[in-house]
Amino acid sequence: MKKVILSGALLLAMCASITSCKEVKENADAASEAVENAAEATGDAVNDAANATGEALENAAEATEDAVDGAIDAAGDAADATGDAMEDAADKAGDMVDDAVDTTKEAANKVKDGATDAVNKASDKTTDAADKLKAKIN
């Protein structure tokens, strides 16, 4: 009877051992699957982060390009405005020179007319004085 009890105990221990190994294998498979799922999730997260970083860089590049284009346009507008202002100043300076020339010509003509009148009056007085002198002599 001892042999039957010991044999039963041995059989029971073997069954428990086989069941225990089966559970370990199932737990190992579950752990392996969990590690694979975690690795896939990590890979997806890395890919998502890389995509987000790429999009952020593209957006930053576009914003920088827009800012540079705006600065170039503003500089061009400023250059155009400066050129227009210079042209206006040159036109006004030209007008002022023309006005000065006209004023100088008018003044010169007035001086000439005044000198002519003075010479004519002096000539007339000289002629009158000569006539009076001739009349006294005769």
pLDDT per residue as tens digits for the range 82-107: 989 899 988 998 899 888 889 999 98
Residue 17 pLDDT grade (very low, low, confident, very high; cuts 50, 70, 90): low
Tell me the average pLDDT of the chain. Answer: 81
Q: What are the tens digits of pLDDT across the range 53-63?
A: 889 999 998 99
CA atoms within 13 A of residue 61's CA, in its CB half-sphere: 6
Measured at the CA of 119, the angle between CA 116 and CA 123, to 5 degrees, comes to 135
Q: State how far the Cα of 108 lies from the Cα of 100, in Å rounded to an integer.
A: 12
Q: Which residue has the higher pLDDT, 137 or 117?
A: 117
Model's pTM, two decimal places?
Answer: 0.44
Cα 41 off chain centre by: 42
How far, in Å, CA of 36 to CA of 32, rounded?
A: 6
DSSP label at 138?
-
Predicted confidence at residue 2, as pLDDT, reads 64
- 78, pLDDT greater than 80: yes
The pLDDT value given to residue 123: 86
CA–CA gap between residue 107 and residue 100 (Å, rounded): 10
Rounded Cα gap, residues 128 and 135, in angstroms: 10
pLDDT band at 65 (very low <50, low <70, confident <90, very high): very high
Checking if the pLDDT of 20 tops 60, the result is no
For 33, 34, 92, the CA distances from 38, given in Å and listed in that order, are: 9, 6, 80
Looking at residue 83, what is its pLDDT? 87
